[in-house]
Protein backbone atom coordinates (compact mmCIF):
# COMPACT_ATOMS: atom_id res chain seq x y z
CA UNK A 1 0.00 0.00 0.00
CA UNK A 2 1.32 3.39 -0.95
CA UNK A 3 -0.95 5.34 1.40
CA UNK A 4 -1.04 8.53 -0.66
CA UNK A 5 -2.80 11.49 0.98
CA UNK A 6 -3.65 13.26 -2.24
CA UNK A 7 -7.10 13.78 -3.75
CA UNK A 8 -6.31 14.20 -7.41
CA UNK A 9 -2.77 13.20 -8.29
CA UNK A 10 -2.18 9.49 -7.82
CA UNK A 11 -5.83 8.56 -7.19
CA UNK A 12 -4.94 5.66 -9.43
CA UNK A 13 -1.42 4.28 -9.86
CA UNK A 14 -0.60 1.78 -12.59
CA UNK A 15 2.66 -0.05 -11.91
CA UNK A 16 4.88 -2.02 -14.29
CA UNK A 17 8.09 -3.88 -13.56
CA UNK A 18 9.19 -3.11 -17.08
CA UNK A 19 7.70 -0.95 -19.80
CA UNK A 20 8.86 0.70 -23.02
CA UNK A 21 8.08 4.18 -21.71
CA UNK A 22 5.64 5.41 -19.06
CA UNK A 23 5.00 8.54 -21.15
CA UNK A 24 4.16 6.54 -24.23
CA UNK A 25 1.79 4.32 -22.25
CA UNK A 26 0.17 7.28 -20.50
CA UNK A 27 -0.44 9.04 -23.80
CA UNK A 28 -2.11 5.93 -25.18
CA UNK A 29 -4.59 5.62 -22.32
CA UNK A 30 -4.99 9.33 -21.50
CA UNK A 31 -8.24 9.89 -23.37
CA UNK A 32 -10.13 7.33 -21.30
CA UNK A 33 -8.38 7.83 -17.97
CA UNK A 34 -9.34 10.21 -15.20
CA UNK A 35 -7.05 13.09 -14.42
CA UNK A 36 -4.35 12.25 -11.91
CA UNK A 37 -3.62 8.68 -12.96
CA UNK A 38 0.07 7.84 -12.60
CA UNK A 39 2.02 5.26 -14.60
CA UNK A 40 5.19 4.11 -12.86
CA UNK A 41 7.77 1.49 -13.79
CA UNK A 42 10.91 -0.07 -12.29
CA UNK A 43 12.66 0.09 -15.64
CA UNK A 44 11.97 1.54 -19.07
CA UNK A 45 13.33 -0.16 -22.17
CA UNK A 46 12.80 2.88 -24.35
CA UNK A 47 12.55 5.87 -22.05
CA UNK A 48 12.92 9.11 -23.99
CA UNK A 49 13.44 12.81 -23.52
CA UNK A 50 12.87 15.76 -25.80
CA UNK A 51 13.37 15.10 -29.50
CA UNK A 52 13.14 11.41 -28.54
CA UNK A 53 16.64 11.41 -27.07
CA UNK A 54 17.30 8.26 -25.04
CA UNK A 55 16.49 8.48 -21.33
CA UNK A 56 18.48 5.87 -19.39
CA UNK A 57 16.07 4.16 -16.99
CA UNK A 58 17.69 1.27 -15.10
CA UNK A 59 16.20 -0.24 -11.97
CA UNK A 60 16.46 1.95 -8.88
CA UNK A 61 15.25 5.20 -10.45
CA UNK A 62 11.86 6.87 -10.34
CA UNK A 63 10.30 6.75 -13.79
CA UNK A 64 6.75 8.01 -13.85
CA UNK A 65 4.13 9.87 -15.85
CA UNK A 66 1.06 11.73 -14.65
CA UNK A 67 -2.03 12.24 -16.79
CA UNK A 68 -3.45 15.75 -16.42
CA UNK A 69 -6.54 17.25 -18.01
CA UNK A 70 -6.52 20.95 -17.19
CA UNK A 71 -9.22 23.11 -18.73
CA UNK A 72 -6.74 25.57 -20.08
CA UNK A 73 -5.25 26.98 -23.27
CA UNK A 74 -2.22 25.29 -24.91
CA UNK A 75 0.08 28.25 -24.16
CA UNK A 76 -0.13 27.32 -20.48
CA UNK A 77 1.52 23.92 -20.91
CA UNK A 78 4.99 25.34 -20.12
CA UNK A 79 3.70 26.15 -16.64
CA UNK A 80 2.96 22.48 -16.12
CA UNK A 81 6.62 21.68 -16.80
CA UNK A 82 7.56 24.44 -14.38
CA UNK A 83 5.31 23.20 -11.59
CA UNK A 84 6.71 19.69 -12.11
CA UNK A 85 10.23 21.06 -11.72
CA UNK A 86 9.30 22.94 -8.55
CA UNK A 87 7.72 19.80 -7.08
CA UNK A 88 10.91 17.81 -7.78
CA UNK A 89 13.15 20.49 -6.24
CA UNK A 90 10.96 20.63 -3.11
CA UNK A 91 10.97 16.84 -2.85
CA UNK A 92 14.75 16.77 -3.03
CA UNK A 93 14.92 19.48 -0.37
CA UNK A 94 12.93 17.27 2.01
CA UNK A 95 15.75 14.75 1.75
CA UNK A 96 18.45 17.34 2.25
CA UNK A 97 19.41 17.64 -1.40
CA UNK A 98 19.70 21.18 -2.73
CA UNK A 99 18.78 21.34 -6.39
CA UNK A 100 18.36 24.04 -9.04
CA UNK A 101 16.27 24.21 -12.18
CA UNK A 102 17.93 24.70 -15.54
CA UNK A 103 15.56 25.99 -18.20
CA UNK A 104 13.46 24.43 -19.49
CA UNK A 105 13.24 21.00 -17.96
CA UNK A 106 16.34 19.86 -16.09
CA UNK A 107 16.95 19.58 -12.36
CA UNK A 108 20.61 19.81 -11.39
CA UNK A 109 22.54 19.11 -8.22
CA UNK A 110 26.05 20.56 -8.18
CA UNK A 111 25.46 21.30 -11.87
CA UNK A 112 24.86 17.64 -12.68
CA UNK A 113 21.52 16.43 -14.01
CA UNK A 114 19.54 14.45 -11.46
CA UNK A 115 16.12 14.67 -13.12
CA UNK A 116 14.56 15.36 -16.49
CA UNK A 117 10.97 16.36 -17.16
CA UNK A 118 9.02 15.84 -20.34
CA UNK A 119 5.51 17.17 -20.95
CA UNK A 120 3.65 15.89 -23.96
CA UNK A 121 0.22 17.14 -24.81
CA UNK A 122 -2.74 16.63 -27.03
CA UNK A 123 -4.45 19.91 -27.80
CA UNK A 124 -6.24 22.02 -30.37
CA UNK A 125 -5.58 25.69 -31.02
CA UNK A 126 -7.73 26.72 -28.07
CA UNK A 127 -8.01 23.76 -25.77
CA UNK A 128 -5.83 21.20 -24.02
CA UNK A 129 -7.24 17.66 -24.06
CA UNK A 130 -4.57 16.07 -21.95
CA UNK A 131 -0.99 16.53 -20.84
CA UNK A 132 1.33 13.72 -19.86
CA UNK A 133 3.90 14.96 -17.39
CA UNK A 134 6.86 12.57 -17.38
CA UNK A 135 9.42 12.70 -14.61
CA UNK A 136 12.67 10.75 -14.59
CA UNK A 137 14.55 11.05 -11.31
CA UNK A 138 17.81 9.25 -10.59
CA UNK A 139 17.40 7.80 -7.09
CA UNK A 140 19.37 4.60 -6.36
CA UNK A 141 20.02 3.58 -9.96
CA UNK A 142 23.50 3.37 -11.44
CA UNK A 143 24.48 6.18 -13.82
CA UNK A 144 25.75 4.90 -17.17
CA UNK A 145 29.48 5.45 -17.75
CA UNK A 146 28.99 7.96 -20.57
CA UNK A 147 26.78 10.19 -18.39
CA UNK A 148 28.93 10.12 -15.24
CA UNK A 149 30.50 13.53 -15.81
CA UNK A 150 27.14 15.22 -16.42
CA UNK A 151 24.63 13.31 -14.26
CA UNK A 152 24.06 12.30 -10.67
CA UNK A 153 21.56 10.53 -8.43
CA UNK A 154 20.13 10.99 -4.94
CA UNK A 155 22.15 8.05 -3.59
CA UNK A 156 25.37 9.47 -5.05
CA UNK A 157 24.73 12.87 -3.50
CA UNK A 158 23.70 11.56 -0.08
CA UNK A 159 25.87 8.46 0.06
CA UNK A 160 22.87 6.38 1.17
CA UNK A 161 19.93 4.79 -0.57
CA UNK A 162 16.45 6.20 -0.01
CA UNK A 163 13.43 3.95 -0.66
CA UNK A 164 11.72 5.03 -3.89
CA UNK A 165 8.28 4.87 -2.24
CA UNK A 166 9.29 7.62 0.18
CA UNK A 167 10.41 9.90 -2.62
CA UNK A 168 7.36 9.04 -4.69
CA UNK A 169 4.95 9.87 -1.88
CA UNK A 170 6.38 13.33 -1.29
CA UNK A 171 6.71 14.08 -4.97
CA UNK A 172 3.04 13.24 -5.55
CA UNK A 173 2.04 15.48 -2.65
CA UNK A 174 4.11 18.40 -3.96
CA UNK A 175 2.78 17.86 -7.49
CA UNK A 176 -0.76 18.01 -6.18
CA UNK A 177 -0.04 21.19 -4.22
CA UNK A 178 1.39 23.01 -7.23
CA UNK A 179 -1.12 21.62 -9.72
CA UNK A 180 -3.96 22.90 -7.54
CA UNK A 181 -2.28 26.33 -7.58
CA UNK A 182 -2.16 26.10 -11.36
CA UNK A 183 -5.86 25.18 -11.56
CA UNK A 184 -6.70 28.14 -9.33
CA UNK A 185 -4.94 30.40 -11.80
CA UNK A 186 -2.08 31.25 -9.44
CA UNK A 187 0.39 31.36 -12.31
CA UNK A 188 2.30 34.22 -10.75
CA UNK A 189 3.10 32.11 -7.72
CA UNK A 190 4.41 29.29 -9.92
CA UNK A 191 6.57 31.59 -12.01
CA UNK A 192 7.93 33.31 -8.92
CA UNK A 193 8.84 30.02 -7.23
CA UNK A 194 10.40 28.77 -10.46
CA UNK A 195 12.59 31.88 -10.70
CA UNK A 196 13.62 31.45 -7.07
CA UNK A 197 14.81 27.89 -7.74
CA UNK A 198 16.28 28.41 -11.21
CA UNK A 199 19.82 29.02 -12.39
CA UNK A 200 19.58 32.62 -13.56
CA UNK A 201 21.73 35.73 -13.92
CA UNK A 202 24.62 33.92 -15.46
CA UNK A 203 26.15 33.45 -18.86
CA UNK A 204 24.79 30.50 -20.78
CA UNK A 205 24.98 29.05 -24.24
CA UNK A 206 21.71 28.05 -25.86
CA UNK A 207 21.80 25.44 -28.58
CA UNK A 208 18.92 25.81 -30.99
CA UNK A 209 18.15 24.28 -34.34
CA UNK A 210 19.05 27.55 -36.05
CA UNK A 211 22.40 27.74 -34.21
CA UNK A 212 24.03 28.68 -30.93
CA UNK A 213 23.45 31.86 -29.06
CA UNK A 214 25.19 33.16 -25.91
CA UNK A 215 23.98 35.57 -23.31
CA UNK A 216 22.93 36.10 -19.75
CA UNK A 217 19.85 34.12 -18.68
CA UNK A 218 17.66 36.75 -17.05
CA UNK A 219 14.40 34.92 -16.46
CA UNK A 220 11.28 33.60 -18.11
CA UNK A 221 8.20 35.30 -19.49
CA UNK A 222 4.54 34.33 -19.01
CA UNK A 223 4.68 31.71 -21.77
CA UNK A 224 7.78 30.10 -20.33
CA UNK A 225 10.24 31.53 -22.86
CA UNK A 226 13.78 32.08 -21.62
CA UNK A 227 14.83 35.74 -21.66
CA UNK A 228 18.43 36.10 -22.72
CA UNK A 229 20.45 39.32 -22.61
CA UNK A 230 22.89 39.40 -25.48
CA UNK A 231 26.35 41.06 -25.39
CA UNK A 232 25.05 44.14 -27.21
CA UNK A 233 22.30 44.57 -24.60
CA UNK A 234 19.48 43.31 -26.81
CA UNK A 235 17.06 40.86 -25.27
CA UNK A 236 16.06 37.69 -27.02
CA UNK A 237 13.27 35.31 -26.07
CA UNK A 238 13.84 31.63 -26.61
CA UNK A 239 10.99 29.17 -26.71
CA UNK A 240 12.87 26.00 -27.56
CA UNK A 241 16.49 25.01 -27.00
CA UNK A 242 19.08 23.37 -24.76
CA UNK A 243 20.97 25.46 -22.25
CA UNK A 244 24.61 24.68 -21.59
CA UNK A 245 26.31 26.04 -18.47
CA UNK A 246 29.78 24.75 -19.24
CA UNK A 247 31.50 26.32 -22.19
CA UNK A 248 34.61 28.23 -23.10
C1 LIG B 1 14.70 15.10 -20.53
O2 LIG B 1 14.95 15.15 -21.86
O3 LIG B 1 15.46 15.45 -19.66
C4 LIG B 1 13.34 14.49 -20.17
C5 LIG B 1 13.47 13.10 -19.63
C6 LIG B 1 12.13 12.55 -19.19
C7 LIG B 1 12.23 11.14 -18.75
C8 LIG B 1 10.94 10.63 -18.18
S9 LIG B 1 11.12 9.11 -17.35
C10 LIG B 1 9.41 8.89 -17.27
C11 LIG B 1 8.86 9.35 -18.60
N12 LIG B 1 8.88 8.30 -19.60
C13 LIG B 1 9.71 8.60 -20.64
O14 LIG B 1 9.92 7.86 -21.62
N15 LIG B 1 10.27 9.81 -20.43
C16 LIG B 1 9.81 10.41 -19.19
P17 LIG B 1 16.17 15.94 -22.53
O18 LIG B 1 16.21 17.34 -22.02
O19 LIG B 1 15.98 15.73 -23.99
O20 LIG B 1 17.45 15.20 -22.00
C21 LIG B 1 17.87 13.98 -22.52
C22 LIG B 1 19.36 13.83 -22.27
O23 LIG B 1 19.60 13.62 -20.87
C24 LIG B 1 19.99 12.63 -22.96
O25 LIG B 1 20.37 12.96 -24.28
C26 LIG B 1 21.20 12.34 -22.07
O27 LIG B 1 22.27 13.21 -22.37
C28 LIG B 1 20.71 12.73 -20.69
N29 LIG B 1 20.24 11.56 -19.93
C30 LIG B 1 19.71 10.39 -20.36
N31 LIG B 1 19.36 9.58 -19.35
C32 LIG B 1 19.69 10.26 -18.21
C33 LIG B 1 19.58 9.97 -16.83
N34 LIG B 1 19.04 8.83 -16.36
N35 LIG B 1 20.03 10.90 -15.95
C36 LIG B 1 20.58 12.06 -16.36
N37 LIG B 1 20.71 12.39 -17.66
C38 LIG B 1 20.27 11.51 -18.57
pLDDT digits (tens, 9 = 90+) for 101-120: 999 999 999 999 999 999 99
| pLDDT at res. 222 | 84
Indicate whether residue 49 lines ligand 1 (CB < 6 A). Answer: yes
Query: Which DSSP category does 137 fall into?
Result: E
248 falls in which pLDDT band (50, 70, 90)? low
Q: Is residue 175 part of a domain?
A: yes
Q: Are residues 234 and 186 in the same domain?
A: no
The pLDDT tens digits for 126-184 are 999 999 999 999 999 999 999 999 999 999 999 999 999 999 999 999 999 999 999 99
- Cβ 132 under 6 angstroms from ligand 1: no
**Atom 25 of ligand 1: nearest residue by CA position:** 53
In a domain, 115, yes or no: yes
* Residue 50: band (very low, low, confident or very high) from pLDDT cuts 50, 70, 90: very high
Phi and psi angles of residue 133, each rounded to the nearest 5 degrees, phi first: -100, 105
User: CB of 121 closer than 6 A to ligand 1?
Assistant: no
Q: Give the pLDDT score at 8.
A: 97
* Beta bridge pairs of residue 135: 64, 117
* In-domain check, residue 149: yes
Domain boundary among 180, 197, 214: 197
CB 133 within 8 A of CB 66: yes
Same domain for 144 and 213, yes or no, is: no
Indicate if ligand 1 lies below 6 Å from the C-beta of 65: yes
Does the residue 87 lie in any domain? yes
Q: How many angstroms does the Cα of residue 48 sit away from the middle of ligand 1?
A: 6
**Protein residue with least CA distance to atom 8, ligand 1:** 136
pLDDT at 1: 54
Taking CA atoms only, the protein residue closest to ligand 1 atom 3 is 116
> In what helix (H) or strand (E) does residue 148 lie, and over which residues does it extend?
none
Alpha helix ranges (H) inside the chain: 22-29, 77-94, 154-158, 164-183, 187-197
Percent of the chain residues past pLDDT 90, beyond the cut: 93
Establish whether residue 239 lines the binding site of ligand 1, counting it when its CB lies within 6 angstroms of any ligand atom.
no
Q: Is 35 helix (H, G, I), strand (E, B) or coil?
A: coil
pLDDT at 223 over 70: yes
Instruction: State the pLDDT confidence band at 63, using cuts at 50, 70 and 90.
Output: very high
* Helix-then-strand count for the chain, H and E: 5, 12
Cβ–ligand 1 distance for 10 under 6 Å, the answer no
Residue 147 lies in a domain: yes
Whether the per-residue pLDDT at 246 is higher than 90: the answer is no
Q: Angle, nearest 10°, between helix axes 187-197 and 164-183?
A: 140
Is 93's pLDDT higher than 60? Answer: yes
The reply to whether omega before 104 is within 30° of 0 (cis) is yes
Residues 131 and 80 sit within 8 Å (Cβ to Cβ): yes
Vertex 142 angle, CA 137 and 147, to 5°: 80
What does pLDDT average to over the chain? Answer: 95
On the question of pLDDT at 247 being above 80, the answer is: no
Mutate to test the pocket of ligand 1, among 116, 145, 151, 155 (most ligand atoms within 8 A of CB): 116
Contacts of 114 (CB under 8 A, 6+ apart): 92, 97, 99, 107, 108, 137, 138, 151, 152, 153, 154, 157
Q: How many structural domains is the chain composed of? A: 2
What is the 228 CA–ligand 1 centroid distance (Å)?
24
Query: Ligand 1 within 6 A of 141 CB?
Result: no
Question: Which pLDDT does position 142 carry in this prediction?
Answer: 98
- Mean pLDDT over 22-32 rounds to 97
Domain enclosing residue 56, as ranges: 13-197
Do 180 and 210 belong to one domain?
no
54 Cα: distance to centroid of ligand 1 (angstroms): 6
Q: In what order do the strands lie in the sheet with 128-137?
A: 13-19, 38-44, 62-68, 128-137, 112-123, 106-109, 100-102
Locate the ligand 1 atom nearest the alpha carbon of residue 26 and give its number: 12
C-alpha to C-alpha distance for 91 and 101, rounded to whole angstroms: 13
Asked if pLDDT for residue 68 goes beyond 90, the answer is: yes
Q: How far is the CA of 227 from the centre of ligand 1 (A)?
A: 24
Does some domain include residue 126? yes
Average pLDDT of 201-230?
Answer: 94
Per-residue confidence at 3, pLDDT binned at 50, 70, 90?
Answer: confident
Amino acid sequence: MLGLNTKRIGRKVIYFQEIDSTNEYAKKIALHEDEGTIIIADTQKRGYGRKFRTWESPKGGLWMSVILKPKTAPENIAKIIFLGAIAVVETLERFGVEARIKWPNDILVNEKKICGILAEGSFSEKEVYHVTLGIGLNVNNPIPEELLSTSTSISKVLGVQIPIEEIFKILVERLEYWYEEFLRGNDGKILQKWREKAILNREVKVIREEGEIRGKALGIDERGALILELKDGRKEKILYGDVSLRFE
